[in-house]
Each structure stands twice: as C-alpha cells, then as structure tokens.
Amino acid sequence: MGGPVVLGIESSCDETGAGIVRDGRLLAHVVASSMDEHARFGGVVPEIAARAHLQSFNPVVRQALDRAGLGLGQIDAVAVTTGPGLSGALQVGLAGAKSLAYAAGVPLYGVHHLAGHVAADTLEHGPLPAPCVVLIVSGGHTSLLLVRDLVREPIMHLGDTLDDAAGECFDKVARILGLPYPGGPAIDRAAREGDPRAVVFPRPLTRPADDPYAFSFAGLKTAAARWVEQHRLRGEEPSVADGAAALQEAVADVLTRKAVEACGAYDVRTLIVVGGVAANSRVRALAEERCARNGIELRVPPMTLCTDNGAMIAAVGDLLVRSGAEPAPLNVSVDPSAPLEYASLTPLPAPSPRAA
C-alpha cells in the first residue's frame, strides 16, 4: 500500500501550487501562475496575487488529485506554506489547506517556504546526504545553508544576503535594460548573444573576513545601472546582450564561488542548488564546472521544481509525517517574514489587545 499520502499547498507569491507525495515519490503536481498579470506592473502586486490564488486554488487541487488518481478521502495529511511570503497570498493558501484537512479529517502541517525549496531536490535525487551544503537562490532569498537532517535538526545559516537577493538583482537590472519581467529568464535569454567579458562588473563581498559566506547584490545592481547611464549620457544605447551576459557572469561567479568554498570549509561533499535562480543556465554551468574540479557532487532539481510549487511543500510534509512530527495546531497562522530555522513552521496569531 505504501506510506501516507501528503497533499502540499504553496501560495506564498504568484504561483498557486498543489503537489502530492508518498514516501518521497512525487505522484502529481500542478502550478497556476499569475505572473502574466503582474508583468505589466514590473513586479508582483500583492492584491492581484491574492485574488489569483482565490481563483486558482480549487482547480489546481482538483487537477493534482486527478493526475494522481486519488480522491480527497485518500489523502492522509495536508502540508501548507505558512511563511515567508505575501501575507494575503499566504492567508488564502492556509485557509484553503485548513478546509481540505478538515474535510478529509487529516492532520495539517505548516511548512517554511525555503525548506520546501531544499526538499524539492529529494523528489528527483532521493534523500539529502547528511550533511550537505544548500544554496538557495531566488527572487527574494539568497542563503547558504548547512543541512544535516532537514526536519529533525535546526538549519544552520552559513551566510545570507545583506540586501538584494540575486533574483531581485536580475529583475531590477532587466528593467533598466528594457527587458521584460521576470528579469531572471529575460537576462538568461539575452546573455546567450552577449560577451560576459565585455563589461567588468564587481564581485561583491568575495573576501570578507568577518562573514565569508554573506552575499550582497545591491552594489552590483548599482554598477549595472551606472554602466547603462554612462552610455545614455553619451547618446549611446548599451549592448543589452553584453550587459546581461556580464551581469549573469558576476552573479554566477559569486554564488558558486562561495558555495564551493563553504563545502571545502565544512568538509561536505554534496552541494545542492535550489530556488528559481537555480534555473539560470550560467549558474548551473559554473556550478557544474567548479564542483567537478573540487570533487563535489552537485544536485539541482529539474526546472519545474526550481520555481515555487506545491510538490516541494508536500515533500516537506511527507518528511514531517514520516518523522513523527506534531501536526500544526488548529489556530496556526502565517508569518510573512519568518526566518528559516526549522522546516516546520506553525506560528500562532498574535493575542488581541485588551479593550480599554
């Protein structure tokens, strides 16, 4: 018969995702994105995202169940992203997940969104080696982690971004270059026709003694903006392809250099790269080169599991159920700015102030 069947729900930003996992095996997953609705604004609009989740939630869950050949009564647990993310978007997902868990009479598990990205790799490559170094790189997050047991032990942060995340840098520079949103894929496409050596962009924080694995991309974004500005002040249009290629090279260089150095410092033989920017072709290629050179196994999930999805949340839920973790309380809430400490995230609502 197999182990428990876990339905995972993701709604932290602009993707509504539902995934179904049993014993570490992905049975189905469906994602509905509202990205096209946000593109004309150059970024995610929280109110539009929340409304899109409301419209997509039931169809996405139904499609996932249909693809898995299951009914709601065959689900043994529901897992849902409870943070971090957009408050309204998270609330829609949590309310829907609570309704499903109640209707099915099964436990509910709150999951940290970033732990979901880490667990996404298990759906392709199996259990995480213990220990492993994980590079999470996305539009809102850039972190280097040491993971021993994802659901039983605290997650150790080796370094985090001090300002802009790598994906945020791509989005902002893409806008400056006149490329569409989202900026990451647009930069990647434009870079194919460019020369990464045509522009010398800085490599921020490559040798900080006090925090060697911290990241900073705000200065790189500013350097790219100044490069564009200088061309236009001379009445010239910069080469979008060269700018994109040079920016992408700088980001990939910093990310992979620090990740490989951390593997060496902590005597870890496996590097896992996850998150939306893990889909970037240069990040993948440079990570492969440097890992091969240093005898490190590189694991990157397939493209469909790099961006936000319900499968990754179901993967964490599956691990929590099998580890015997306590389900979330009935009054579990969301935490839009939750730090990543544990894979399980079950914040409670703030107490109401007493009436005067």
Element (H, E) at 133: strand 132-137
Where b means 16+ CB within 10 Å and e means fewer, 71-99 reads eeeebbbbbbbbbbbbebbbbbbbbbbbe
Sheet order of strands, 156-160 included: 156-160, 142-147, 132-137, 270-274, 297-299
Residue 235: count other Cβ atoms within 10 Å of its Cβ. 6
Mean pLDDT on 209-217: 89
Q: Which of 107-121, 205-219, 324-338 has the least mean pLDDT? A: 205-219
**Confidence (pTM):** 0.94
Two tokens, residue 69: 């050949």
CA-CA-CA-CA dihedral for 303, 307, 308, 314, to nearest 10: 30
Query: For 9, which DSSP code?
Result: E
Q: Residue 173's pLDDT is what?
A: 96
323-346 per-position pLDDT tens digit = 999 999 999 999 999 999 999 999
Q: Residue 356's pLDDT is what?
A: 44
Two tokens, residue 179: 């490329």
- For 213, 269, 315, the CA distances from 257, given in Å and listed in that order, are 10, 15, 29
Whether the pLDDT of residue 206 is over 80: the answer is no
Query: pLDDT above 90 covers what percent of the chain?
Result: 88
Q: How many residues are present in the chain?
A: 356
Q: Residue 41's pLDDT is what?
A: 75
Q: Average pLDDT of the chain?
A: 94
Mean pLDDT on 230-244: 97
